[in-house]
Structure 1
Amino acid sequence: MHTSSGLSREGAGTSCRWLEERCERLEESWKQLTEKASNASRPKIQRIPLYMAERDEFKRYYKPEIISVGPIHHLQKQQLLQGERYKEAWAAMYIKETNQTAKALYWTIRERIPEVLHQLAEFLEPVEEVIPGERGEYLAWMLVVDGCSVLHLLDNTDPYFSDEKLNISMGKLIRVHQDVVILDNQIPFQVLRLLCQDRRRLERCLQKFLRVYGVDRIPRLSKQNQTAQEVNIIVHDDDPIHLLDCLRRALLEERILEIVKGYNQSMRASSDDIHLGQGLYQMLHLRKYRIGTTRELKEAGIRVKKHSGDSNSFYPSFQNGILALPKLTIDGSTAHVFLNLVAYEMCPDFRNDFEISSFLVLLSSLIDHPEDVRELRLAGIVINQLANDKEVADLFNKMDIIMVPETPWFASIRDQIHLHFESKRAKIRMLTWIGEAYNIYFRSPWTVIALLAATLGLVLTFIQTWFAVHPKAS
Structure 2
Amino acid sequence: MSSTEEGGGAVGAVSTDQTIIDSNTNNDYVRIDMRFADVALSVGEVAKIQSLDKAFDGGQPNFTAKPLIRKVPSTLRHNEDFKKYFKPKVISIGPLHHDDLTLHESKELKLKLAAHFVKKIGIDKESLYSKMKVEMDGLEECYDPQELENYSDDNEELAWMFFVDGCAILQAVYMRYGNDDDDGKLFIKNILLTFVYSDLFLLENQLPFRVLELLTSSGDGKMFMNAIQRFIDDAVINPAEDSEWWWEQQKEGERIHLLNLLRRRLLVEKEKPWWWRLRFFIERGFINEARTKRHHSHTIGNVKELKKAGIRLKASKTSCLTDISFNHFFFFGKLRLPPITVDDSTINLIAYEMCPDFDNDFTVTSYMCFLDLLIDEAEDVKDLRDAGILYNGLGSDEEVAKLFNKMNSDLVPSPMIYSGVKRQIHNHCKNMWINHAAQGYHTYFRSPWAFLAFVGAITALSLSTLQTYYTIHQRK
Relative to the length of structure 2, the TM-score reads 0.71
Task: Answer yes or no: is the 8 Å Cα contact 1:88–1:145 preserved in 2.
Answer: yes
Task: Answer yes or no: is the 8 Å Cα contact 1:153–1:166 preserved in 2.
Answer: no
Matched residue type, 1:49: P
Instruction: Please name the residue that 2:466 is paired with.
Output: none
Question: Which of 212, 222, 245 pairs up with 1:200?
Answer: 222
Instruction: Please name the residue that 1:457 is paired with.
Output: none
Residue 124 (structure 1) aligned with residue 142 (structure 2)? no
Instruction: Please name the residue that 1:235 is paired with.
Output: 253
Instruction: Please name the residue that 2:203 is paired with.
Output: 183
Question: What do the CA deviations read for 1:258-315 (whole angstroms, capped 9, x no partner)?
Answer: x99x969985897477546x25xx7xxxx7x74211111010111111224xx45433
In structure 1, C-alpha distance between the alignment counterparts of 2:360 and 2:281, rounded to whole Å: 11
In structure 2, C-alpha distance between the alignment counterparts of 1:211 and 1:273, rounded to whole Å: 37
Task: Answer yes or no: is the 8 Å Cα contact 2:172–2:193 preserved in 1.
Answer: no
In structure 1, C-alpha distance between the alignment counterparts of 2:435 and 2:312, rounded to whole Å: 14
In structure 1, C-alpha distance between the alignment counterparts of 2:178 and 2:412, rounded to whole Å: 36
Residue 249 (structure 1) aligned with residue 264 (structure 2)? yes
Residue 295 (structure 1) aligned with residue 304 (structure 2)? yes
Distance of aligned partners of 1:88 and 1:369 in 2 relative to their CA distance in 1, 3 Å threshold: same
Distance of aligned partners of 1:123 and 1:72 in 2 relative to their CA distance in 1, 3 Å threshold: farther
Question: What do the CA deviations read for 1:38-61 (whole angstroms, capped 9, x no partner)?
Answer: 33xx21112101121121121111
Instruction: Please name the residue that 2:92 is paired with.
Output: 68
Q: CA deviation at 1:92?
A: 1.6
Which 5+ residue runs of structure 2 have no aligned equivalent? 1-8, 15-19, 22-26, 31-42, 462-476
Distance of aligned partners of 1:63 and 1:123 in 2 relative to their CA distance in 1, 3 Å threshold: farther
Q: CA deviation at 1:201?
A: 3.1
What SS does the aligned partner of 2:335 have? strand
Q: CA deviation at 1:358?
A: 1.4
Matched residue type, 2:268: E
Task: Answer yes or no: is the 8 Å Cα contact 1:306–1:379 preserved in 2.
Answer: yes
Give the RMSD, CA atoms, in angstroms: 4.4
In structure 1, C-alpha distance between the alignment counterparts of 2:68 and 2:282, rounded to whole Å: 26
Residue 317 (structure 1) aligned with residue 325 (structure 2)? yes
Q: CA deviation at 1:85?
A: 0.6
Q: Comparing 54-63 with 191-200, which one deviates more in the overlay?
A: 191-200
Instruction: Please name the residue that 1:148 is paired with.
Output: 167
Q: CA deviation at 1:375?
A: 2.6
Task: Answer yes or no: is the 8 Å Cα contact 1:316–1:323 preserved in 2.
Answer: yes
In structure 2, C-alpha distance between the alignment counterparts of 1:178 and 1:57, rounded to whole Å: 19
Q: CA deviation at 1:254?
A: 4.9
In structure 1, C-alpha distance between the alignment counterparts of 2:80 and 2:425, rounded to whole Å: 35
Distance of aligned partners of 1:62 and 1:378 in 2 relative to their CA distance in 1, 3 Å threshold: closer
Distance of aligned partners of 1:23 and 1:48 in 2 relative to their CA distance in 1, 3 Å threshold: closer
Matched residue type, 2:387: A
Distance of aligned partners of 1:434 and 1:97 in 2 relative to their CA distance in 1, 3 Å threshold: closer
Instruction: Please name the residue that 2:64 is paired with.
Output: 38
Task: Answer yes or no: is the 8 Å Cα contact 1:256–1:313 preserved in 2.
Answer: no
Identical amino acids, percent of aligned pairs: 30
Task: Answer yes or no: is the 8 Å Cα contact 1:328–1:383 preserved in 2.
Answer: yes
Task: Answer yes or no: is the 8 Å Cα contact 2:93–2:206 preserved in 1.
Answer: yes
Q: CA deviation at 1:243?
A: 0.4
Matched residue type, 2:204: D
Distance of aligned partners of 1:37 and 1:193 in 2 relative to their CA distance in 1, 3 Å threshold: same
Residue 134 (structure 1) aligned with residue 146 (structure 2)? no
In structure 2, C-alpha distance between the alignment counterparts of 1:115 and 1:122, rounded to whole Å: 12
Instruction: Please name the residue that 1:346 is paired with.
Output: 354
Q: Comparing 168-177 with 204-213, which one deviates more in the overlay?
A: 204-213
Task: Answer yes or no: is the 8 Å Cα contact 1:147–1:187 preserved in 2.
Answer: yes
What SS does the aligned partner of 2:140 have? helix
Distance of aligned partners of 1:189 and 1:305 in 2 relative to their CA distance in 1, 3 Å threshold: same
In structure 2, C-alpha distance between the alignment counterparts of 1:80 and 1:169, rounded to whole Å: 17
In structure 2, C-alpha distance between the alignment counterparts of 1:247 and 1:53, rounded to whole Å: 21
Distance of aligned partners of 1:357 and 1:135 in 2 relative to their CA distance in 1, 3 Å threshold: same
Matched residue type, 1:193: E
Question: What do the CA deviations read for 1:378-432 (whole angstroms, capped 9, x no partner)?
Answer: 433345577754444344334444422334231221111012123x322323565
Residue 57 (structure 1) aligned with residue 81 (structure 2)? yes
Matched residue type, 1:429: H
In structure 2, C-alpha distance between the alignment counterparts of 1:427 and 1:298, rounded to whole Å: 13
Relative to the length of structure 1, the TM-score reads 0.71
Q: CA deviation at 1:29?
A: 6.5
Matched residue type, 2:62: K
Question: What do the CA deviations read for 1:209-248 (whole angstroms, capped 9, x no partner)?
Answer: 2255355647434687xxxxxxxxx733xx2x10011111
What SS does the aligned partner of 1:291 have? coil
